[in-house]
Amino acid sequence: MSNQLYALSGQFETPDEIMHAAEEVNKKYKQYDVNTPYPVHGMDGAMGMGESPIGWVTLVVGTTCMLLMLCFIAWIQLVDYPTTFAGKPDFNLPGYVPILFETTILTGAVTTVLTLLFVVCGLPNNAHPIHDTNYAKRTSDDRFGIYVEAKDPAFNEAEVRQLFEQLGAKDIAPIYIDAEEVAAGKNMSVLKPQFIGFAATVVLVISGAAYFGLNHMVFLPPYNWMSVQPKVVPQKTNTVFKNGVSMQLPVEGTIARGFIPYAKVGAKEGFGQSMANPLDPTAEVFALGEQKYLTMCSACHGNYGQGDSRLNGQYPAPPSLHSKKAVEWADAEIYHVITNGQNIMPSYAKQLTRDERWAIVHYVRALQRSLNPKETDVQ
Ligand code: HEC
Protein backbone atom coordinates (compact mmCIF):
# COMPACT_ATOMS: atom_id res chain seq x y z
CA MET A 1 0.00 0.00 0.00
CA SER A 2 1.29 3.39 -0.98
CA ASN A 3 0.05 6.54 0.60
CA GLN A 4 -1.33 7.96 -2.59
CA LEU A 5 -4.95 8.79 -1.92
CA TYR A 6 -7.48 7.60 -4.51
CA ALA A 7 -10.75 8.68 -2.93
CA LEU A 8 -12.70 9.19 0.26
CA SER A 9 -15.61 6.82 0.74
CA GLY A 10 -18.69 6.75 2.89
CA GLN A 11 -21.36 4.08 3.44
CA PHE A 12 -25.09 4.36 4.00
CA GLU A 13 -27.71 1.91 5.22
CA THR A 14 -30.72 2.64 3.02
CA PRO A 15 -31.46 3.46 -0.63
CA ASP A 16 -33.11 6.74 0.42
CA GLU A 17 -29.95 7.86 2.17
CA ILE A 18 -27.73 7.05 -0.79
CA MET A 19 -30.10 8.83 -3.19
CA HIS A 20 -29.97 11.93 -1.03
CA ALA A 21 -26.18 11.64 -0.66
CA ALA A 22 -25.71 11.32 -4.42
CA GLU A 23 -27.81 14.43 -5.03
CA GLU A 24 -25.80 16.44 -2.50
CA VAL A 25 -22.40 15.21 -3.71
CA ASN A 26 -23.38 15.88 -7.31
CA LYS A 27 -23.90 19.54 -6.48
CA LYS A 28 -20.18 20.07 -5.91
CA TYR A 29 -18.20 17.16 -7.34
CA LYS A 30 -17.92 15.52 -10.73
CA GLN A 31 -15.39 12.72 -10.15
CA TYR A 32 -17.30 10.39 -7.87
CA ASP A 33 -19.16 7.10 -8.07
CA VAL A 34 -21.88 5.22 -6.24
CA ASN A 35 -21.81 1.48 -5.47
CA THR A 36 -24.93 -0.39 -4.44
CA PRO A 37 -25.63 -4.11 -3.90
CA TYR A 38 -28.47 -3.95 -6.43
CA PRO A 39 -29.56 -1.41 -9.07
CA VAL A 40 -31.25 1.53 -7.33
CA HIS A 41 -33.98 2.99 -9.48
CA GLY A 42 -33.53 6.69 -10.25
CA MET A 43 -29.86 6.75 -9.31
CA ASP A 44 -28.82 8.03 -12.76
CA GLY A 45 -31.15 11.00 -12.21
CA ALA A 46 -29.80 11.67 -8.73
CA MET A 47 -26.25 11.57 -10.08
CA GLY A 48 -27.21 14.04 -12.81
CA MET A 49 -26.38 11.64 -15.63
CA GLY A 50 -27.93 12.36 -19.01
CA GLU A 51 -29.29 9.83 -21.42
CA SER A 52 -26.80 7.07 -22.21
CA PRO A 53 -25.47 7.05 -25.78
CA ILE A 54 -25.19 3.24 -25.66
CA GLY A 55 -28.42 2.97 -27.69
CA TRP A 56 -26.53 4.30 -30.71
CA VAL A 57 -24.15 1.38 -30.53
CA THR A 58 -27.11 -1.00 -30.61
CA LEU A 59 -28.72 0.87 -33.51
CA VAL A 60 -25.60 1.13 -35.66
CA VAL A 61 -24.36 -2.41 -35.06
CA GLY A 62 -27.83 -3.98 -35.37
CA THR A 63 -28.64 -2.15 -38.60
CA THR A 64 -25.22 -2.79 -40.13
CA CYS A 65 -25.34 -6.51 -39.36
CA MET A 66 -28.92 -6.70 -40.69
CA LEU A 67 -27.83 -5.15 -43.99
CA LEU A 68 -24.79 -7.43 -44.18
CA MET A 69 -27.06 -10.44 -43.61
CA LEU A 70 -29.39 -9.18 -46.35
CA CYS A 71 -26.44 -8.91 -48.75
CA PHE A 72 -25.29 -12.37 -47.71
CA ILE A 73 -28.73 -13.88 -48.38
CA ALA A 74 -28.96 -12.05 -51.70
CA TRP A 75 -25.55 -13.37 -52.69
CA ILE A 76 -26.51 -16.95 -51.82
CA GLN A 77 -29.94 -16.80 -53.45
CA LEU A 78 -29.07 -14.82 -56.55
CA VAL A 79 -25.42 -15.68 -57.23
CA ASP A 80 -23.92 -18.59 -55.39
CA TYR A 81 -26.69 -21.15 -54.94
CA PRO A 82 -30.15 -20.08 -56.14
CA THR A 83 -32.72 -22.45 -54.66
CA THR A 84 -36.45 -22.46 -55.19
CA PHE A 85 -38.54 -22.80 -52.01
CA ALA A 86 -42.22 -23.57 -52.45
CA GLY A 87 -42.27 -21.97 -55.90
CA LYS A 88 -41.36 -18.54 -54.51
CA PRO A 89 -39.05 -16.17 -56.41
CA ASP A 90 -35.34 -16.76 -55.77
CA PHE A 91 -35.10 -13.53 -53.80
CA ASN A 92 -38.13 -13.48 -51.53
CA LEU A 93 -37.90 -10.70 -48.97
CA PRO A 94 -40.86 -11.56 -46.68
CA GLY A 95 -39.32 -14.97 -46.04
CA TYR A 96 -36.12 -13.35 -44.77
CA VAL A 97 -37.79 -11.09 -42.21
CA PRO A 98 -37.38 -13.59 -39.34
CA ILE A 99 -33.70 -14.09 -40.18
CA LEU A 100 -33.06 -10.35 -40.46
CA PHE A 101 -34.99 -9.70 -37.25
CA GLU A 102 -33.02 -12.31 -35.32
CA THR A 103 -29.72 -11.06 -36.73
CA THR A 104 -30.51 -7.50 -35.71
CA ILE A 105 -31.58 -8.46 -32.17
CA LEU A 106 -28.73 -10.89 -31.59
CA THR A 107 -25.87 -8.73 -32.87
CA GLY A 108 -27.36 -5.57 -31.34
CA ALA A 109 -27.83 -7.15 -27.90
CA VAL A 110 -24.53 -8.99 -27.75
CA THR A 111 -22.51 -5.97 -28.94
CA THR A 112 -24.30 -3.72 -26.45
CA VAL A 113 -23.41 -5.99 -23.53
CA LEU A 114 -19.81 -6.45 -24.70
CA THR A 115 -19.42 -2.69 -25.23
CA LEU A 116 -20.72 -2.02 -21.73
CA LEU A 117 -18.38 -4.57 -20.17
CA PHE A 118 -15.20 -3.96 -22.10
CA VAL A 119 -15.41 -0.37 -23.35
CA VAL A 120 -17.58 1.52 -20.87
CA CYS A 121 -16.57 -0.39 -17.74
CA GLY A 122 -13.05 -1.08 -18.96
CA LEU A 123 -13.00 -4.75 -17.90
CA PRO A 124 -10.98 -6.76 -17.20
CA ASN A 125 -9.42 -4.47 -14.64
CA ASN A 126 -7.54 -6.03 -11.76
CA ALA A 127 -6.07 -2.75 -10.65
CA HIS A 128 -9.06 -0.73 -9.48
CA PRO A 129 -8.25 0.76 -6.09
CA ILE A 130 -11.57 -0.15 -4.48
CA HIS A 131 -10.75 -3.85 -4.92
CA ASP A 132 -10.29 -5.68 -1.65
CA THR A 133 -11.39 -2.73 0.46
CA ASN A 134 -13.92 -2.93 3.26
CA TYR A 135 -15.95 -0.47 1.15
CA ALA A 136 -16.16 -2.88 -1.81
CA LYS A 137 -17.07 -5.79 0.45
CA ARG A 138 -19.90 -3.97 2.19
CA THR A 139 -21.33 -2.26 -0.92
CA SER A 140 -21.57 -5.59 -2.69
CA ASP A 141 -23.39 -6.99 0.33
CA ASP A 142 -25.65 -4.78 2.47
CA ARG A 143 -24.49 -1.15 2.28
CA PHE A 144 -24.87 1.70 -0.18
CA GLY A 145 -21.59 3.50 -0.79
CA ILE A 146 -20.31 6.65 -2.42
CA TYR A 147 -16.77 7.85 -2.95
CA VAL A 148 -15.33 11.14 -4.21
CA GLU A 149 -12.09 10.80 -6.13
CA ALA A 150 -9.05 12.79 -5.14
CA LYS A 151 -8.56 13.93 -8.73
CA ASP A 152 -11.80 15.96 -8.59
CA PRO A 153 -10.77 19.64 -8.88
CA ALA A 154 -12.94 20.55 -5.88
CA PHE A 155 -11.59 17.70 -3.74
CA ASN A 156 -10.55 18.49 -0.21
CA GLU A 157 -10.38 15.54 2.16
CA ALA A 158 -11.60 17.46 5.20
CA GLU A 159 -14.51 19.02 3.32
CA VAL A 160 -15.65 15.74 1.84
CA ARG A 161 -15.41 14.05 5.23
CA GLN A 162 -17.51 16.85 6.73
CA LEU A 163 -20.12 16.53 3.98
CA PHE A 164 -20.32 12.74 4.49
CA GLU A 165 -20.71 13.26 8.25
CA GLN A 166 -23.52 15.75 7.70
CA LEU A 167 -25.27 13.25 5.45
CA GLY A 168 -24.96 10.61 8.18
CA ALA A 169 -22.44 8.30 6.48
CA LYS A 170 -20.98 5.30 8.34
CA ASP A 171 -17.41 4.02 8.05
CA ILE A 172 -16.01 7.06 6.28
CA ALA A 173 -12.66 5.81 5.01
CA PRO A 174 -9.91 6.85 2.58
CA ILE A 175 -9.08 4.52 -0.31
CA TYR A 176 -5.42 4.33 -1.36
CA ILE A 177 -3.93 3.32 -4.67
CA ASP A 178 -2.15 -0.05 -4.54
CA ALA A 179 1.12 0.39 -6.43
CA GLU A 180 1.54 -3.34 -7.07
CA GLU A 181 -1.91 -3.65 -8.61
CA VAL A 182 -1.38 -0.56 -10.75
CA ALA A 183 1.87 -2.06 -12.00
CA ALA A 184 0.02 -5.24 -12.99
CA GLY A 185 -2.58 -3.04 -14.70
CA LYS A 186 -4.89 -4.75 -17.14
CA ASN A 187 -2.29 -7.40 -17.74
CA MET A 188 -3.96 -10.79 -17.43
CA SER A 189 -0.59 -12.41 -16.70
CA VAL A 190 -1.67 -12.13 -13.09
CA LEU A 191 -3.07 -15.56 -13.99
CA LYS A 192 -0.26 -17.75 -12.73
CA PRO A 193 1.46 -20.02 -15.30
CA GLN A 194 0.80 -22.95 -12.95
CA PHE A 195 -2.93 -22.29 -13.21
CA ILE A 196 -2.90 -22.04 -17.01
CA GLY A 197 -0.80 -25.21 -17.24
CA PHE A 198 -3.18 -27.07 -14.94
CA ALA A 199 -6.25 -25.96 -16.93
CA ALA A 200 -4.63 -26.99 -20.22
CA THR A 201 -3.70 -30.40 -18.78
CA VAL A 202 -7.27 -31.00 -17.61
CA VAL A 203 -8.64 -30.17 -21.06
CA LEU A 204 -6.11 -32.39 -22.88
CA VAL A 205 -6.54 -35.37 -20.53
CA ILE A 206 -10.34 -35.34 -20.64
CA SER A 207 -10.66 -34.90 -24.40
CA GLY A 208 -7.84 -37.40 -25.06
CA ALA A 209 -9.43 -39.98 -22.78
CA ALA A 210 -12.83 -39.47 -24.40
CA TYR A 211 -11.37 -39.80 -27.89
CA PHE A 212 -9.35 -42.91 -27.06
CA GLY A 213 -12.17 -44.50 -25.10
CA LEU A 214 -14.82 -44.01 -27.73
CA ASN A 215 -12.68 -44.87 -30.73
CA HIS A 216 -10.44 -47.65 -29.51
CA MET A 217 -12.09 -49.26 -26.50
CA VAL A 218 -15.83 -49.24 -27.15
CA PHE A 219 -17.01 -51.70 -29.78
CA LEU A 220 -20.69 -51.82 -30.69
CA PRO A 221 -21.57 -54.75 -32.97
CA PRO A 222 -23.52 -54.85 -35.19
CA TYR A 223 -24.25 -51.14 -35.45
CA ASN A 224 -20.65 -50.07 -35.79
CA TRP A 225 -20.22 -46.98 -37.85
CA MET A 226 -23.23 -47.37 -40.06
CA SER A 227 -23.00 -43.64 -40.60
CA VAL A 228 -19.63 -44.03 -42.31
CA GLN A 229 -20.83 -46.19 -45.20
CA PRO A 230 -20.59 -44.82 -48.77
CA LYS A 231 -23.86 -43.19 -49.75
CA VAL A 232 -25.33 -40.30 -51.68
CA VAL A 233 -25.68 -37.27 -49.44
CA PRO A 234 -27.67 -34.27 -50.68
CA GLN A 235 -25.60 -31.09 -51.16
CA LYS A 236 -22.35 -33.12 -50.98
CA THR A 237 -19.86 -33.83 -53.74
CA ASN A 238 -20.29 -37.24 -55.31
CA THR A 239 -17.52 -38.91 -57.28
CA VAL A 240 -19.84 -41.43 -58.92
CA PHE A 241 -21.20 -38.90 -61.40
CA LYS A 242 -19.15 -36.93 -63.87
CA ASN A 243 -20.43 -33.54 -62.77
CA GLY A 244 -19.77 -34.40 -59.11
CA VAL A 245 -23.33 -33.60 -57.97
CA SER A 246 -25.31 -35.91 -55.67
CA MET A 247 -28.72 -34.45 -56.46
CA GLN A 248 -28.89 -35.34 -60.15
CA LEU A 249 -31.58 -33.72 -62.28
CA PRO A 250 -33.90 -36.12 -64.13
CA VAL A 251 -32.79 -36.97 -67.67
CA GLU A 252 -34.23 -34.50 -70.14
CA GLY A 253 -37.67 -35.56 -71.34
CA THR A 254 -38.43 -37.55 -68.17
CA ILE A 255 -42.15 -37.83 -67.49
CA ALA A 256 -43.50 -38.40 -63.98
CA ARG A 257 -45.83 -41.40 -63.59
CA GLY A 258 -49.47 -40.54 -64.21
CA PHE A 259 -48.58 -37.18 -65.76
CA ILE A 260 -49.60 -36.39 -69.30
CA PRO A 261 -47.13 -33.90 -70.78
CA TYR A 262 -48.73 -30.84 -72.25
CA ALA A 263 -47.26 -28.20 -74.54
CA LYS A 264 -46.10 -25.04 -72.80
CA VAL A 265 -47.95 -21.73 -72.61
CA GLY A 266 -48.31 -20.14 -76.00
CA ALA A 267 -47.57 -23.26 -78.03
CA LYS A 268 -50.97 -23.81 -79.56
CA GLU A 269 -50.57 -24.44 -83.24
CA GLY A 270 -50.63 -28.05 -84.20
CA PHE A 271 -50.14 -29.55 -80.74
CA GLY A 272 -53.73 -30.24 -79.90
CA GLN A 273 -55.41 -32.56 -82.32
CA SER A 274 -53.29 -35.51 -81.30
CA MET A 275 -54.28 -35.22 -77.65
CA ALA A 276 -57.36 -37.07 -76.43
CA ASN A 277 -59.35 -36.47 -73.25
CA PRO A 278 -57.76 -38.89 -70.74
CA LEU A 279 -60.93 -39.16 -68.65
CA ASP A 280 -63.77 -41.55 -69.44
CA PRO A 281 -67.17 -39.81 -69.73
CA THR A 282 -68.61 -41.40 -66.59
CA ALA A 283 -71.43 -39.96 -64.49
CA GLU A 284 -68.89 -38.91 -61.86
CA VAL A 285 -66.76 -37.07 -64.39
CA PHE A 286 -69.82 -35.24 -65.73
CA ALA A 287 -70.89 -34.32 -62.19
CA LEU A 288 -67.40 -32.94 -61.51
CA GLY A 289 -67.36 -31.10 -64.86
CA GLU A 290 -70.79 -29.59 -64.22
CA GLN A 291 -69.91 -28.42 -60.74
CA LYS A 292 -66.61 -26.87 -61.86
CA TYR A 293 -68.17 -25.32 -64.98
CA LEU A 294 -70.91 -23.65 -62.95
CA THR A 295 -68.37 -22.38 -60.45
CA MET A 296 -65.57 -21.23 -62.72
CA CYS A 297 -67.02 -20.60 -66.18
CA SER A 298 -70.73 -19.83 -65.98
CA ALA A 299 -70.31 -16.29 -64.61
CA CYS A 300 -69.03 -15.24 -68.04
CA HIS A 301 -70.15 -17.94 -70.45
CA GLY A 302 -73.63 -18.43 -68.98
CA ASN A 303 -75.06 -21.57 -67.41
CA TYR A 304 -75.52 -23.22 -70.84
CA GLY A 305 -72.46 -21.74 -72.54
CA GLN A 306 -74.46 -19.40 -74.78
CA GLY A 307 -72.33 -16.37 -73.93
CA ASP A 308 -75.16 -14.76 -71.93
CA SER A 309 -72.95 -13.54 -69.15
CA ARG A 310 -74.40 -12.95 -65.69
CA LEU A 311 -71.89 -10.10 -65.44
CA ASN A 312 -74.27 -8.15 -67.67
CA GLY A 313 -71.82 -6.09 -69.61
CA GLN A 314 -69.45 -5.55 -66.67
CA TYR A 315 -67.05 -7.74 -68.62
CA PRO A 316 -66.92 -8.13 -72.42
CA ALA A 317 -69.43 -10.84 -73.22
CA PRO A 318 -67.59 -14.00 -74.29
CA PRO A 319 -68.46 -15.86 -77.48
CA SER A 320 -70.96 -18.69 -77.38
CA LEU A 321 -69.48 -22.12 -76.80
CA HIS A 322 -72.00 -23.41 -79.37
CA SER A 323 -70.39 -21.60 -82.30
CA LYS A 324 -69.39 -23.70 -85.29
CA LYS A 325 -65.79 -23.02 -84.43
CA ALA A 326 -66.09 -24.22 -80.81
CA VAL A 327 -68.10 -27.29 -81.80
CA GLU A 328 -65.58 -28.29 -84.41
CA TRP A 329 -62.63 -27.73 -82.11
CA ALA A 330 -60.79 -30.78 -80.77
CA ASP A 331 -61.14 -31.49 -77.03
CA ALA A 332 -57.55 -30.47 -76.60
CA GLU A 333 -58.20 -27.00 -77.98
CA ILE A 334 -60.87 -26.28 -75.38
CA TYR A 335 -58.53 -27.71 -72.77
CA HIS A 336 -55.84 -25.40 -74.08
CA VAL A 337 -58.04 -22.30 -73.69
CA ILE A 338 -58.92 -23.26 -70.08
CA THR A 339 -55.25 -23.88 -69.31
CA ASN A 340 -53.71 -20.87 -71.01
CA GLY A 341 -56.59 -18.47 -71.42
CA GLN A 342 -57.27 -16.73 -74.70
CA ASN A 343 -56.90 -12.98 -75.23
CA ILE A 344 -58.87 -11.38 -72.36
CA MET A 345 -60.02 -14.68 -70.88
CA PRO A 346 -57.51 -15.52 -68.14
CA SER A 347 -55.86 -18.89 -67.53
CA TYR A 348 -57.62 -21.22 -65.10
CA ALA A 349 -54.62 -23.54 -64.66
CA LYS A 350 -54.10 -22.39 -61.07
CA GLN A 351 -57.72 -22.76 -59.99
CA LEU A 352 -58.46 -26.09 -61.67
CA THR A 353 -56.47 -29.31 -61.56
CA ARG A 354 -55.65 -31.10 -64.77
CA ASP A 355 -58.46 -33.63 -64.28
CA GLU A 356 -60.99 -30.91 -63.41
CA ARG A 357 -60.14 -29.14 -66.67
CA TRP A 358 -60.64 -32.32 -68.68
CA ALA A 359 -63.93 -32.97 -66.82
CA ILE A 360 -65.09 -29.48 -67.83
CA VAL A 361 -64.23 -30.31 -71.46
CA HIS A 362 -66.58 -33.33 -71.23
CA TYR A 363 -69.26 -31.12 -69.75
CA VAL A 364 -68.86 -28.46 -72.47
CA ARG A 365 -69.19 -31.24 -75.06
CA ALA A 366 -72.38 -32.40 -73.37
CA LEU A 367 -73.76 -28.82 -73.43
CA GLN A 368 -72.97 -28.52 -77.12
CA ARG A 369 -74.72 -31.77 -77.96
CA SER A 370 -77.75 -30.94 -75.83
CA LEU A 371 -78.45 -27.92 -78.08
CA ASN A 372 -77.73 -29.79 -81.24
CA PRO A 373 -78.40 -33.47 -80.66
CA LYS A 374 -77.53 -36.05 -83.26
CA GLU A 375 -80.13 -38.43 -84.36
CA THR A 376 -78.50 -41.20 -82.37
CA ASP A 377 -78.74 -39.16 -79.19
CA VAL A 378 -82.50 -39.00 -79.28
CA GLN A 379 -83.06 -42.70 -79.85
C1 HEC B 1 -63.94 -13.77 -66.77
C2 HEC B 1 -64.89 -14.26 -67.76
C3 HEC B 1 -64.63 -15.68 -68.30
C4 HEC B 1 -64.56 -16.84 -67.58
C5 HEC B 1 -64.74 -17.04 -66.08
C6 HEC B 1 -64.31 -17.88 -68.53
N7 HEC B 1 -64.21 -17.37 -69.78
FE8 HEC B 1 -63.94 -18.42 -71.48
N9 HEC B 1 -63.87 -16.70 -72.52
C10 HEC B 1 -64.09 -15.44 -72.02
C11 HEC B 1 -63.93 -14.46 -73.08
C12 HEC B 1 -64.10 -12.95 -72.91
C13 HEC B 1 -63.61 -15.18 -74.24
C14 HEC B 1 -63.27 -14.63 -75.59
C15 HEC B 1 -61.78 -14.36 -75.63
C16 HEC B 1 -61.30 -13.83 -76.96
O17 HEC B 1 -61.49 -12.64 -77.19
O18 HEC B 1 -60.73 -14.63 -77.72
C19 HEC B 1 -63.56 -16.57 -73.85
C20 HEC B 1 -63.27 -17.61 -74.73
C21 HEC B 1 -63.44 -18.94 -74.42
C22 HEC B 1 -63.30 -20.02 -75.38
C23 HEC B 1 -62.95 -19.86 -76.82
C24 HEC B 1 -64.22 -19.58 -77.61
C25 HEC B 1 -63.94 -19.10 -78.97
O26 HEC B 1 -64.88 -19.17 -79.78
O27 HEC B 1 -62.79 -18.58 -79.24
C28 HEC B 1 -63.54 -21.19 -74.70
C29 HEC B 1 -63.54 -22.59 -75.27
C30 HEC B 1 -63.81 -20.82 -73.32
N31 HEC B 1 -63.72 -19.46 -73.18
C32 HEC B 1 -64.09 -21.76 -72.32
C33 HEC B 1 -64.15 -21.38 -70.99
C34 HEC B 1 -64.26 -22.34 -69.93
C35 HEC B 1 -64.37 -23.86 -70.10
C36 HEC B 1 -64.26 -21.65 -68.76
C37 HEC B 1 -64.28 -22.19 -67.35
C38 HEC B 1 -63.08 -22.85 -66.97
C39 HEC B 1 -64.18 -20.24 -69.11
N40 HEC B 1 -64.08 -20.11 -70.45
C41 HEC B 1 -64.19 -19.22 -68.19
C42 HEC B 1 -64.41 -15.11 -70.71
C43 HEC B 1 -64.42 -16.00 -69.67
Instruction: Count each helix (H run) and each strand (E run) in the chain, helices first.
Output: 14, 4
CB 89 within 8 A of CB 102: no
pLDDT at 13 over 60: yes
Residue 122's pLDDT is 82
Residue 43's pLDDT is 93
* Range among 124-128, 220-224, 366-370 rated most confident: 366-370
Which of 122, 157, 182 corresponds to the end of one domain? 182
pLDDT digits (tens, 9 = 90+) for 81-94: 888 777 788 888 99
Q: What is the DSSP letter of 173?
A: E
Let me know the angle formed at the C-alpha of 67 by 66 and 73, rounded to the nearest 5 degrees. Answer: 90
pLDDT at 264 over 60: no
Category of 303 on φ-ψ map: left (φ > 0), alpha (ψ -120 to 50) or beta? alpha
pLDDT confidence band for 272 (50 / 70 / 90): low
Residue 379's pLDDT is 66
Q: CATH code at 354?
A: 1.10.760.10
For residue 288, how far is the Cα from the chain centroid? 44
Structural domain including 305 reads 283-378
* Nearest CA, atom 36, ligand 1: 297
pLDDT at 222 over 70: no
Does residue 145 sit within a domain?
Answer: yes
Domain identity same for 156 and 23: yes
Residue 262's pLDDT is 66
Residue 1's pLDDT is 47
Domain identity same for 153 and 292: no
Domain identity same for 153 and 295: no
- Report d(CA 175, CA 6) in Å as an integer: 5
Which of 148, 182, 216 corresponds to the end of one domain? 182
Domain identity same for 295 and 172: no
What percent of the chain is predicted at pLDDT more than 70? 91
Which of 182, 209, 224 corresponds to the end of one domain? 182
Q: Ligand 1 — pocket residues by CB below 6 A?
A: 296-297, 299-301, 315-316, 318-319, 321, 323, 325-326, 334, 337-338, 342-345, 348, 360, 364
Which atom of ligand 1 is least distant from the CA of 323?
A: 26
Residue 185's pLDDT is 61
Does residue 230 sit within a domain?
Answer: no
pLDDT digits (tens, 9 = 90+) for 365-379: 999 998 878 777 766
Does residue 204 sit within a domain?
Answer: no
Does residue 203 sit within a domain?
Answer: no
- Report d(CA 125, CA 188) in Å as an integer: 9
- Report d(CA 52, CA 68) in Å as an integer: 26
Compute the distance from residue 378 Cα to the ligand 1 centre, in Å: 29
Domain identity same for 290 and 165: no
pLDDT at 215 over 90: no
Residue 315's pLDDT is 83
Domain identity same for 287 and 161: no
Does residue 289 sit within a domain?
Answer: yes
- Domain count for the chain: 2
How far CA 123 is from CA of 30, 44, 54, 128, 333, in Å, comes to 22, 21, 17, 10, 78
